[in-house]
Structure 1
């Protein structure tokens, strides 16, 4: 068990406004369209949208081998700027996931997705990850997942718009 998670960041310039990007990443019901690990998400406990303190149920999956629920909470909800959640799971510590939208000119945004471990994973968690799931590079998998997420986000918002008819 030599793996460790601390923090990582992936960035991508996307041809869309920060507001359009924020609208998608903060709509957790759309997370399965973006993330390779989240297969379902819905607001719970009366929450109906992204605001600090809102909770949602997310169902994650690593292939067909391992599926688990978690209950993240929104910790930052600044439209057009930043959306962040924190999720704590027994044995698997606490991770904060963040999307930052940094304008780069007219209708171009640098999107930064990151995670930070604020409470580390336990030995039990690493045993499950390595021995039961078979993951030997969890940090690499998370980094690849963030790149996939930003790629899918770009595909959604950069879809070509047909020219107006003359």
Structure 2
């Protein structure tokens, strides 16, 4: 009930982190979440900060808002958030950054909570959702890479 995709970016971790932790830019990268905004007095990435994401499931619908809370926030290293529905954590997304060969190895991952309904869902339909998530993570990281590498080389 988890998955991940890694991609090398020719940009330093600090530049990549600035891109992935700016939730207001998610619409540039994600194939499903087309906008996000900080809420409840939050205005940037810190553990406990809250935001909401406007999602078009599978890129076609339904369209809905998801409540989110930042769960990990270490500049240049780690940015993660939990997605909530009906007051329960539905999923946790995370970007982990490792310096490598003058750039950054970026791993985007998701993890669903281990509950009976989630295990049943994953058993029946998880293969399809897992494949969709993997494709979406790869597309997101490729788009992040374009921006991060452009930003990194702009300062050269």
Is the TM value for this pair above 0.5? Answer: yes
Radius of gyration: which is bigger?
1
Flag structure 2 segments of 5+ consecutive residues without an equivalent.
Answer: none
Counterpart of 1:149 in structure 2 is 140
1:116-131 maps to which residues of 2 (within 5 A)?
A: 116-120=111-115, 122=117
Which residue is 1:8 aligned to? 3
Structure 1: runs of 5+ lacking an equivalent = 1-5
Task: Report the Cα distance in structure 2 between the residues aligned to 1:38 and 1:121, rounded to whole angstroms.
Answer: 27
RMSD: 2.7
Q: Which has the higher helix share?
A: 2
Q: Which residue of 2 aligns with 1:3?
A: none
Q: Hey, what does 1:73 align to over in structure 2?
A: 69
Q: TM-score under structure 2 normalisation?
A: 0.85
Distance 1:83 1:37, change over 3 A: same
* Aligned residue pairs, count: 150
Q: Would the alpha carbon gap of residues 117 and 83 (structure 1) be closer, same or farther in structure 2, given more than 3 Å must change? A: same
User: Match for residue 23 of structure 1?
Assistant: 18
TM-score, scaled to structure 1: 0.80
Measure, in 2, the Cα distance between the counterparts of 1:27 and 1:13: 19
Specify the SS of the correspondent of 1:72. strand
The 1:52/1:92 distance shift into structure 2, 3 A limit, reads closer
Q: 1:22 to 1:88 in 2, by over 3 A?
A: same
Moved over 3 A (4+): 90-93, 119-123
